[in-house]
Structure 1
Amino acid sequence: MKTQTPKGFRDFLPKDALKRKFLLDKIIEVFERFGFDPLETPTLEFEETLAGKYGEEEKLIYKFETRGGDKVALKYDQTVPLARVVAQYGPNGQQVLPIPFKRYQIQAAYRGENPQAGRYREFLQCDADIVGVSNSLVDAELLSLMYEIYLNLGLDVVIKINDRSLLKGIEPKFLSTIDKLNKINDTGVLKELEEKGLSKDKALELLNKVKNLKPTANLKETQILYFKMGYPKDSLKFDPTLIRGLDYYTGIIMEVVLKSDPLSLSLCGGGRYDEMIGKFSGVDLPANGFSIGLERTMNAMAKQGLLDTPPTNTKVLVTLFSPELIQKSLEVTSNLRKEDITTEIWLDPGAKLEKQLKYADTKGIPYVIIIGPEEIKNKKVMVKDLKKKTQESISQPNLLDAIS
Structure 2
Amino acid sequence: MAAKFRPYPGTRDFYPAEMEFRNWMFQTQREVCERYGYGEYQAPVLESTDLYRAKSSEEIVNEQLYTFTDRGDREVSIRPEMTPTLARMAVDRPASCLLPLRWFSIANFMRYERPGRGRLREFYQLNVDLLGAKGPGADAEILMIAVDLMRAYGASDDMFVVRISDRRLLDLWIGIDDREKLRRIGRLIDKKEKITEEAFAEELAKECEDPELESRVRSFLAMDNASLDRDPDEIVAHLKLEGQKADDLLAVLNHLIAVRLLLRKSGHEAAVLFDPAIVRGFDYYTGLVFEIYDTNPENRRAIFGGGRYDRLLGQFGKEDIPAVGFGMGDVTLEHFLEGHGLESSRTVSHRAFLTLMNNDLLGETLKLASELRSEGVHIEASLEATKKFGKQFELAEKKGFRYVLILGEDEAKAGTVIIKDLQTGSQHAETRHTVADYLKKR
- TM-score w.r.t. the length of structure 2 is 0.83
Q: Does 1:318 align with 2:354?
A: yes
Q: Which residue does the alignment assign to 1:177?
A: 188
1:184-333 correspondence runs (5 A): 184=195, 186-194=197-205, 196-198=206-208, 201=211, 204-212=214-222, 216-232=253-269, 234-258=270-294, 264-308=300-344, 315-333=351-369
**SS of residue matched to 1:281:** coil
Q: Please report how far the alpha carbon of residue 390 of structure 1 lies from its aligned counterpart in structure 2 after TM superposition.
A: 3.3
Q: Please report how far the alpha carbon of residue 223 of structure 1 lies from its aligned counterpart in structure 2 after TM superposition.
A: 1.7
In structure 2, distance between residues paired with 1:312 and 1:345 = 18
1:5-404 correspondence runs (5 A): 5-52=7-54, 53-58=56-61, 59-90=63-94, 95-155=95-155, 156=157, 157-168=160-171, 169=176, 170-184=181-195, 186-194=197-205, 196-198=206-208, 201=211, 204-212=214-222, 216-232=253-269, 234-258=270-294, 264-308=300-344, 315-349=351-385, 353-376=389-412, 379-400=415-436, 402-403=438-439, 404=441
The superposition leaves residues 27-74 of structure 1 with CA deviations (integer Å, 9 ceiling, x where unpaired) of 211111111000101100111111132122322111111011111111
Counterparts in 2 of 1:197 and 1:257: CA distance versus 1, 3 Å:
closer
In structure 1, distance between residues paired with 2:304 and 2:153 = 13
Residue 316 of structure 1 contacts residue 366 of structure 1 at CA under 8 Å; is this kept in 2?
yes
Residue 256 of structure 1 contacts residue 266 of structure 1 at CA under 8 Å; is this kept in 2?
yes
CA RMSD of aligned residues (A): 2.6
**SS of residue matched to 2:302:** coil
Pick the structure with more helix per residue.
Answer: 2
**SS of residue matched to 1:107:** strand
Residue 193 of structure 1 contacts residue 203 of structure 1 at CA under 8 Å; is this kept in 2?
no
Counterpart residue type for residue 203 of structure 2? E
Counterpart residue type for residue 208 of structure 1? R
Counterparts in 2 of 1:350 and 1:312: CA distance versus 1, 3 Å:
farther
Residue 134 of structure 2 contacts residue 323 of structure 2 at CA under 8 Å; is this kept in 1?
yes
Residue 123 of structure 2 contacts residue 329 of structure 2 at CA under 8 Å; is this kept in 1?
no
Residue 190 of structure 1 contacts residue 203 of structure 1 at CA under 8 Å; is this kept in 2?
no
Residue 164 of structure 2 contacts residue 288 of structure 2 at CA under 8 Å; is this kept in 1?
yes
Residue 311 of structure 1 contacts residue 364 of structure 1 at CA under 8 Å; is this kept in 2?
no
Residue 128 of structure 2 contacts residue 326 of structure 2 at CA under 8 Å; is this kept in 1?
yes
In structure 1, distance between residues paired with 2:362 and 2:298 = 59
Q: Please report how far the alpha carbon of residue 352 of structure 1 lies from its aligned counterpart in structure 2 after TM superposition.
A: 5.1
Q: Please report how far the alpha carbon of residue 259 of structure 1 lies from its aligned counterpart in structure 2 after TM superposition.
A: 5.0
In structure 2, distance between residues paired with 1:319 and 1:340 = 19
In structure 1, distance between residues paired with 2:283 and 2:84 = 12
Counterpart residue type for residue 88 of structure 2? R
% identical equivalent positions: 29
**Any stretches of 5+ residues in structure 2 without a counterpart?**
224-234, 236-251
Q: Which residue does the alignment assign to 2:246?
A: none
Q: Please report how far the alpha carbon of residue 253 of structure 1 lies from its aligned counterpart in structure 2 after TM superposition.
A: 0.5
Q: Please report how far the alpha carbon of residue 200 of structure 1 lies from its aligned counterpart in structure 2 after TM superposition.
A: 8.6
Q: Please report how far the alpha carbon of residue 356 of structure 1 lies from its aligned counterpart in structure 2 after TM superposition.
A: 2.8
Residue 18 of structure 1 contacts residue 312 of structure 1 at CA under 8 Å; is this kept in 2?
no
Q: Please report how far the alpha carbon of residue 313 of structure 1 lies from its aligned counterpart in structure 2 after TM superposition.
A: 5.4
In structure 2, distance between residues paired with 1:397 and 1:238 = 57
In structure 2, distance between residues paired with 1:350 and 1:262 = 48
Q: Please report how far the alpha carbon of residue 114 of structure 1 lies from its aligned counterpart in structure 2 after TM superposition.
A: 0.9
Counterpart residue type for residue 179 of structure 1? D
Residue 129 of structure 1 contacts residue 289 of structure 1 at CA under 8 Å; is this kept in 2?
yes
In structure 1, distance between residues paired with 2:214 and 2:297 = 26
Greater CA drift, 284-293 or 102-111: 284-293
Residue 299 of structure 2 contacts residue 336 of structure 2 at CA under 8 Å; is this kept in 1?
no
Greater CA drift, 20-29 or 392-401: 392-401
The superposition leaves residues 351-372 of structure 1 with CA deviations (integer Å, 9 ceiling, x where unpaired) of 7534433332222122222222
Greater CA drift, 181-190 or 146-155: 181-190
In structure 2, distance between residues paired with 1:395 and 1:86 = 55
In structure 2, distance between residues paired with 1:311 and 1:352 = 33
In structure 2, distance between residues paired with 1:378 and 1:226 = 60
In structure 2, distance between residues paired with 1:70 and 1:236 = 45
Q: Please report how far the alpha carbon of residue 286 of structure 1 lies from its aligned counterpart in structure 2 after TM superposition.
A: 1.4
Aligned residue pairs total 398
Residue 352 of structure 2 contacts residue 403 of structure 2 at CA under 8 Å; is this kept in 1?
yes
Counterpart residue type for residue 165 of structure 2? N
**Any stretches of 5+ residues in structure 1 without a counterpart?**
none
In structure 2, distance between residues paired with 1:165 and 1:253 = 10
